[in-house]
Structure 1
């Protein structure tokens, strides 16, 4: 099992555009740009903390568009990290689709980068333009193919509920991601940060964000889509930080968003499978033992709802089942 990434933030550096939703300082609570000494000190401390477990962790450069930053600065950071690739499992970077080409991939290979994530956000060109992304869906496709050609581990990041997007457009983005066959995906429901264009649109009434309930409904479906395609979701929802909560609007952020979505999957499955069940009789719900908390829901919300609906059942385990599987007997 992998440990958390050893993350080194380079907030907003290298981004040639100011996307509608972006305020990296408010999201991360950080604006300082790390030096090579910072990288070295961070990784040395991580080695001391993790010991033998360091081999299961990745060095991760996040927060900006890594391949779009000043090339000399990028190489300085990579040079500082490279000696530690003998200790950690590799280097992961995040960047823009329009700043990937063969030349930069050669550089990344030289410094032992192993994983590249593309901040695609949407595969709908109208949505990309409306949010000032500065790249097209074709750029995502082109960059994805190049990254796979060079045999990097490959990830895609999407944002649901962006300005001008819809439920159907978000499903479409997930479908196009699946066609590109990434190793991993990250899904970030849009959070409206203060001091952004998105905040202005929201405050003027031009942008109505998804409610938390709508986001949970959508993302519970996306989980099943990627699960079926055997694509691992390595993040669902933004990491919690006091800065994020303090500087966000609309009250549609939840720190345990993934848990809500996974519980919704079981809620929907249970309702579907018990639609014709005689409520006067006791039945058995079978799940994988590791899925018990997901089935019961946060603070047992699912279990309480099922009881209020009049269902009487017992829960048993079948460890041949997948983590989102459920059957009734």
Structure 2
């Protein structure tokens, strides 16, 4: 059985980053404001290790800011601590996130010395106008160069995308997705842009110069991108910012498509599209339908506020029932009527039918 993955997050807001992207307030996004000391890094790792199962696969991950833009001595200090735990077998991998324009041969050689195995790049968009209007300070060509260098050193690569930025639209977001596919990352994250307090985007929003995506628009665009990536064997490991004490409505989120379970909304919408195609193809109507899935996926299949269940019952005049079958993997569901049993791989269905 595959080990369950756990991440020990270490947030390093704004360290190493002289840029001020329109959407960025790392202190709010990460919830991290205190100084990152050697003691803090060790204490954070130790605290997490005490709560994690011994058979877990554990990563120490440096998020926020631009890690490879930090002064070399600080990089080496943080990485050296993580490497100690890696060498002792207490963790399994070291991950970090950084900017595409903060990658070069010397940087990558240093990361190899400290046994970093996963690099995530904050790409946000592959559209030059969007990058310029968002004040990213790098170009799409910088992304391509960084990816090619990282591949030469055999790191696992993740790319982070943000939809709904100034100048962005559906066509540009999908073009970004296709350009990301050409770069062949191991995984991606999709973040709908939010208006966060004390950012330039907040000022633009209040002045009527920026209009964030609605929640439904964000779900639809994310879904289209999700399908593109799945069809091209690229894992989508997260959709939407993680809820924190600050990243929430009535806190630091001023406007935009925030939802504490954005990824579930998107995956649930994908599954509904799959079920509609199955019902249409198999002429399922006026009957009882039972869907089996494992416990982790059952709520996603039913839909938030039972949306999928109610939609299918109304559209096809069926009685829907959902049952847990934990022998099924996350990717598998079984759809049963009194006449048919249909075993469906979500991934294969997307690849073959979308």
TM-score by length of 1: 0.92
Aligned residue in 2 for 1:11: 13
**Structure 1 residue 26, shift from structure 2 partner:** 1.6
Q: 1:152 to 1:305 in 2, by over 3 A?
A: same
* Aligned mate of 1:23, from 25, 48, 56: 25
> Quick check: 1:247 aligned with 2:252?
yes
State the Cα distance separating 1:194 from its structure 2 match: 1.2
Counterparts of 1:286 and 1:221 in 2: how far apart (Å)? 24
Please list, as runs of the form range in 1=range in 2, the aligned pairs for 1:34-73 lying within 5 A after superposition. Answer: 34-54=36-56, 56-73=57-74
Name the count of aligned residue pairs.
326
Does the aligned pair in 1 maintain the 2:16–2:68 contact within 8 Å? Answer: yes
**Over residues 215-256 of structure 1, what are the superposed CA-to-partner deviations in whole Å (9 max), with x where a residue is unaligned?**
111111211111111111111111111211101122520001
Structure 2, unmatched stretches of 5+, are 321-334
Whether the aligned pair in 1 keeps the contact of 2:196 and 2:255 (CA below 8 Å) is: no
Question: Cα offset for 1:308?
Answer: 2.7
Counterpart of 1:184 (choices 183, 187, 191) is 187
> 1:33-112 residue pairs with structure 2 within 5 A?
33-54=35-56, 56-86=57-87, 87-112=90-115
In structure 2, do the counterparts of structure 1 residues 277 and 150 end up closer, same or farther at CA, with 3 Å as the change threshold?
Answer: closer
1:302 to partner: Cα distance: 1.0
When residues 116 and 251 of structure 1 are mapped into structure 2, their CA distance, relative to the original with a 3 A threshold, is closer
Per the alignment, do residues 292 and 46 of structure 1 end up closer, same or farther by CA in structure 2, a change over 3 Å counting? closer
Are the equivalent residues in 2 in contact too, given 1:116–1:154 (CA < 8 A)?
A: yes
Contact 1:288 1:321 in 2 (8 A): no
- State the shift of 1:272 in Å: 4.4
Change (3 A) 1:251 1:276: same
* Partners of 2:313 and 2:156 in 1: CA distance: 45
* Inter-partner Cα distance in structure 1 for 2:112 and 2:285: 64
Q: Is the 8 A contact 1:61 1:92 kept in 2?
A: yes
Whether contact under 8 Å (1:288, 1:318) holds in the other structure is no
- Report what 2:346 is aligned to: 322
Measure, in 1, the Cα distance between the counterparts of 2:33 and 2:149.
Answer: 31
> Which deviations, in whole Å up to 9, do the C-alpha atoms of 1:45-72 show, x marking residues without a partner?
2333225235x01000001100001111
Tell me the residue number matched to 2:166: 163
Task: Identify if the C-alpha distance between structure 1 residues 319 and 194 changes in structure 2 by more than 3 Å, giving closer, same or farther.
Answer: same
Q: CA RMSD in A?
A: 2.3
For residue 122 of structure 1, what is the aligned residue in structure 2?
125
**Is contact 1:13-1:69 (8 Å) kept?**
yes
Distance 1:310 1:48, change over 3 A: closer
1:288/1:224 CA distance change after superposition, 3 Å: farther
The reply to whether residue 307 of structure 1 matches residue 313 of structure 2 is: yes
SS of the equivalent of 1:20 reads coil
- CA distance, structure 2, for counterparts of residue 109 and residue 230 of structure 1: 26
Aligned to 2:261: 256
Name the CA distance, whole Å, in 1 between partners of 2:20 and 2:285. 59
Deviations 1:175-194, CA, capped at 9 Å, x for gaps: 11111111111111111101
Deviation larger for 64-73 or 262-271? 262-271
